[in-house]
Amino acid sequence: MSNSGPLFLPATSLDEALAAKEANSAATFIAGGTSLIADRDAREPAGYISLRRIRALQEIERRTDGLFVGAGCTIAALLRDPLVASASLLVEAGRATATRQVRSRATIGGNIAVALPDRSFGPCLLALEASVHVHSREGLRAIPLELYLNDRVKAAETTAPEILVGVTVPYTGGRHHYSRIAADNGGGYATVSVALLLDRERHVVRIGLGGAGPTACRAHEAEAFAAEALDCKGGSTPPSLAAKIGEIAAQHCDPPTDLSASSAYRRHAVGVMVRRALEEAWEATR
């Protein structure tokens, strides 16, 4: 395969895609290509390896360990699939992504793999404690989503090519909540987003944040405080306690300042949104 100019290879298998990447290390894996178009800089691309023809990346199925969604599934296909209908956070993340036209091309794998804090699926999948599956020459391995996102931020390239194959969402009970702030409340990228899972039977609170760090992140300190402080068998939770959980989430995040919003604004928004999410989820499970 020549390296003399930009490459476009429509791979038909994972092994073919890996071989192309090994031969053209500067080439980029793409599926829908929507993030690539939106975030592309002025440099000429080194090449693209398209994953759209790999059918194994487009599966959605129920497995023993959870709902599996292939990385190549478009967001539109995800929203149409009856298996996804009961996974309310996935549905909310999909609906919050861009426009109908973009959703018909954009894939869940691309939304995750860019590891940017303003994308919709990261916070929701973190609240659901999802794992991702990646394929390399060493085979298939599962990685907690949080670890995968942090590794993507720390390293521009991995030492060996790997392909995001899909994500597994464990089956959960309880109540889910997702909210976001975006410019003009439109379909653009989120300035701040919060996803929350409240499972009072298991005494579990999980909080995923977007726009509160270099990538989507968990509010671990707020989750730990909530697990100890909330009376999950009781009938109500004091507003002051929900506010305290939001305050802890805000204190321990690291939001950026950019053209969309200041760090202080994002931190304040996290506190308010976590409080409201918890109050709404708690009320819904009474």
pLDDT over threshold 60, residue 94: yes
Place of tokens 């959870």: 66
- For the chain, percent of residues with pLDDT exceeding 70: 92
pLDDT over threshold 60, residue 212: yes
pLDDT over threshold 60, residue 213: yes
pLDDT over threshold 70, residue 32: yes
d(CA 53, CA 70): 13
Give tens-digit pLDDT for 107-124: 999 999 999 999 999 999
246 neighbors 271 (Cβ within 8 angstroms): yes
**Which three-class secondary structure string do you get for 151-172?**
HHHHCCCCCCCCEEEEEEECCC
Residue 1 has a pLDDT of: 47
Domains along the chain with CATH numbers: 56-169 (3.30.465.10), 175-284 (3.30.390.50)
